Amino acid sequence: MTKKTVRDIEVSGKKVLIRVDFNVPMQDGKITDENRIFEALPTKKYVLENGGKAILFSHLGRVASAEDKKDATLAPVANRLSELLNQKVVFVPETRGAALESAINELRNGDILMFENTRFEDIEGKKESKNNPELGAYWASLGDVFVNDAFGTAHRAHASNAGIAANIKETVAGFLLEKEIKFIGGAVSNPKRPFVAILGGAKVSDKIEVISNLLKVADKVIIGGGMAYTFLKAQGFEIGTSLCELEKVELAKSLLEQAQGKIVLPIDFAFTSKFANEPASHVGPITEIKADEMSLDIGPKSIEMFADILKTAKTVVWNGPMGVFEMSNYAKGTIGVCDAISKLTEATTIVGGGDSAAAAIQFGYASKFTHISTGGGASLEYLEGKALPGVEIVANK
């Protein structure tokens, strides 16, 4: 990797600003998925074990008003992090001011502090998400060096990444950001072949650039999920009431022509007359769909076909479920893809964040993948081949 990491700088005795992505799902004040916290631990441990003073900050959700604050505090995350590190995490419920500055100045080598949700600065004027210069300069003044370890926000230039980097001597990558650059960036720029990409999810419009870019570098692009029906419509099939972006049908035709056989679509489906977690009325090819039916998942022959394509793959990138996996009756396709990828012991297998990452974790396959990305939108933009602001700010070696 050409980017500097926290290994390349001296952290002992220094105030080390670390942008993390602790934008974790919460319910009734409890964290329901801790993956992003676990993935960020190595960087924290390295800084602490090497005598640095770790100063952590993150966003959590969207904060548009003072009313949003009570459900968006990072206090529960700080408490959980304290348990995981087995040491006190000083939590400062402020994003700026004398109390925060005093707490930072009182830190000793090996201490760790977290301050409040950076999006609290968005209540008036969106200072954080609009990269307010004064805010970025202020946060930079709190530390000596900046470690960006938040891949989940790397596709955005915010005060808490680009703003700080513009006002501090050196910005380096944390170990999580390093992993994301290595695996996702490497898959796009220099994959081992055969390279198979699997794309799912609801909309073609969300992944137009991803499909276009992957068609240039992948050997096969498997398309499932809701977006498959727009492609089937483009091939002239009737799709009943299945999800379809009619305004993108012509684009799908163009992509199919551009693909020259690289795009692989499902060959059978689970049909139902209503969007509910009830057993499918029947399973078969798209030609068997009734006018009042929709498909909510791929069928067993599609799973078998996809698994067969994957058998020889040396690099696999998967982004997006194959069906409505939140419903147990329509999770078979997504589970089938998880299972097929999990058996590729000699391939680099990457789950590109979002729903596919949630599915891999939910169905117990997390340990079977080489890498599960912590970034949803950031993963997509990286797969599109775009330069990410949160990666660009990191110093080169």
Candidate from 32-41, 112-121, 276-285, 293-302 with smallest mean pLDDT? 32-41
Q: In the predicted model, what is the mean pLDDT of residues 188-206?
A: 91
Residues 6+ away with beta carbon under 8 Å from 304: none
- Catalytic site residue 36? yes
Name the DSSP class of 387: P
Task: Give per-residue burial for 109-131: e unless 16+ CB within 10 Å, then b.
Answer: eebbbbbbbbbbbbbeebbbbeb
* pLDDT above 90: residue 28: no
* pLDDT above 80: residue 226: yes
In the set 45, 96, 182, 203, the catalytic residue is 203
DSSP letter for each residue of 298-337: E-HHHHHHHHHHHTT-SEEEEES-SS-TTSGGG-HHHHHH
**CATH number among 3.90.79.10, 3.40.50.300, 3.40.50.150, 3.40.50.1260, domain 6-177:** 3.40.50.1260
Instruction: Give the residue from 189, 240, 151, 149 showing the smallest Cα distance to 348.
Output: 189
CATH 3.40.50.1260-classified regions of the chain? 6-177, 191-383
CATH code, 191-383 = 3.40.50.1260
Instruction: Give the residue from 225, 170, 179 showing the smallest Cα distance to 202.
Output: 225
Candidate from 92-96, 229-233, 384-388 with smallest mean pLDDT? 384-388
Q: Look at the pTM and tell me if it is higher than 0.75.
A: yes
In the set 51, 185, 377, 385, the catalytic residue is 377
| pLDDT, tens digit, 9 for 90 and up, residues 42-97 | 999 999 999 999 999 999 999 988 888 988 999 999 999 999 999 999 999 999 99
In the set 3, 19, 36, 119, the catalytic residue is 36
- Catalytic site residue 203? yes
DSSP letter for each residue of 250-268: HHHHHHHHHHTT-EE--S-
| pLDDT, tens digit, 9 for 90 and up, residues 97-150 | 999 999 999 999 999 999 999 999 999 888 999 999 999 999 999 999 999 999
What are the backbone angles phi and psi of residue 296, rounded to the nearest 5°? -115, 0
- Catalytic site residue 323? no
Q: How far apart are the first and last CA of the chain?
A: 9
Which of the two residues, 376 and 324, has the higher pLDDT score? 324
In the set 152, 354, 375, 390, the catalytic residue is 354
